[in-house]
Amino acid sequence: MKRLLGLIFFAFLLALLAACQQIDPDSHYGRMRQAGKMVVGTSADYAPFESLDSAGNFTGFDIALIREIGRRLKLDVEIQDRPFDSLIDAVAAGEVDLAISAFNYSEERDATVDFTDPYYSARDAILIVEGSPLMFNGPTDLAAYRVGVQRGTTQDGWIAENLVSNGAMSPDNVAGFERLDDAVSALQAGEVDAVLMESIVALSLIDELGGLRIGYEGAVSSGPINIVVPEGDAELTEVLNETIAKLEEEGFIDRLIIDYMQ
């Protein structure tokens, strides 16, 4: 019996040693482990994904997810609030280890950073003020109006590529904002006619602010949502993908959707 226990313990030590040897201490992930933390960039103006509560604390679906990922990896999570359109550059420059902020994949972004497997899938909405007579049969109808959008988002890119570049919409009718709440304030003030954003965020704003409604909802620029990681960082990407898969299998992400999206 003692011999059997000794063999089991020896096998455990070998497995533990092998696991440790798989992490290159000079790699990005290896340095994160040595530091004992992951530095995460986000743009905390996008409830229910990420925002600040009344006490100034980070909250939201993405925040809860990345904190749980950090807990599973035994890493402290340091969250930095940055403008959304600066996050890709921050990851590429190594200013943050990764970014989570309801990011959709795009070829333009993929040129400088990489993406994990998706953990959620989103749709888009055109947000307008309650009582507005505007009617939208589809997103191309935006071409006739003054439209607000958060700079650096896939919605911003969609308008530029599908409406402005082909001459269907004057660039003067597109108002880009650093923060989404500024775009919504412009809508409420009548400075723009509509704002294009993710639908779950639009619903959250309607509940929070009132006086707003959705003029159109559908698949426009949004889709699978991923975590942004440094380009070519296969080790970190694999670790995050494995953790996301476990959280999906255990139903943790489904519970987050119920807590934050419904």
Tell me: do 238 and 154 sit in the same domain: no
User: Can you tell me the distance from the alpha carbon of 182 to that of 149, in angstroms, rounded to the nearest whole number?
Assistant: 9
pTM over 0.95: no
pLDDT at 116: 98
Tell me: do 39 and 95 sit in the same domain: yes
Tell me: do 103 and 167 sit in the same domain: no
pLDDT at 6: 47
Task: Answer yes or no: is 19 within a domain.
Answer: no
Q: Confirm if 145 and 194 have CB atoms less than 8 A apart.
A: yes
Tokens of 81: 């609030």
Tell me: do 48 and 65 sit in the same domain: yes
Q: How many CB atoms lie within 10 A of CB 28?
A: 17
Tell me: do 53 and 91 sit in the same domain: yes
Q: CATH code at 109?
A: 3.40.190.10
User: Of 172, 174, 146, whose CA–CA distance to 159 is shortest?
Assistant: 174
Task: Answer yes or no: is 22 within a domain.
Answer: no
User: Can you tell me the distance from the alpha carbon of 212 to that of 207, in angstroms, rounded to the nearest whole number?
Assistant: 9
**pLDDT digit string (tens) for the chain, length 262 residues:** 545 444 454 454 445 444 444 667 778 999 999 999 999 999 999 999 999 999 999 999 999 999 999 999 999 999 999 999 999 999 999 999 999 999 999 889 999 999 999 999 888 999 999 999 999 999 999 999 999 999 999 999 999 999 999 999 999 999 999 999 999 999 999 999 999 999 989 999 999 999 999 999 998 887 899 999 999 999 999 999 999 999 999 999 999 998 998 6
Would you give the DSSP letter of residue 232?
A: T
Tokens of 88: 């890709």
Counting every residue, how long is the chain?
A: 262
pLDDT at 13: 47
Range of the domain at 156: 124-218
Q: Confirm if 18 and 12 have CB atoms less than 8 A apart.
A: no
User: Of 151, 131, 132, whose CA–CA distance to 193 is shortest?
Assistant: 132
Tell me: do 97 and 147 sit in the same domain: no
Indicate the number of domains in the chain: 2
User: Can you tell me the distance from the alpha carbon of 197 to that of 124, in angstroms, rounded to the nearest whole number?
Assistant: 6
Q: How many CB atoms lie within 10 A of CB 16?
A: 10
Tell me: do 142 and 154 sit in the same domain: yes
Q: How many CB atoms lie within 10 A of CB 179?
A: 16
Tell me: do 140 and 204 sit in the same domain: yes
pLDDT at 7: 45
Task: Answer yes or no: is 246 within a domain.
Answer: yes
pLDDT at 258: 87
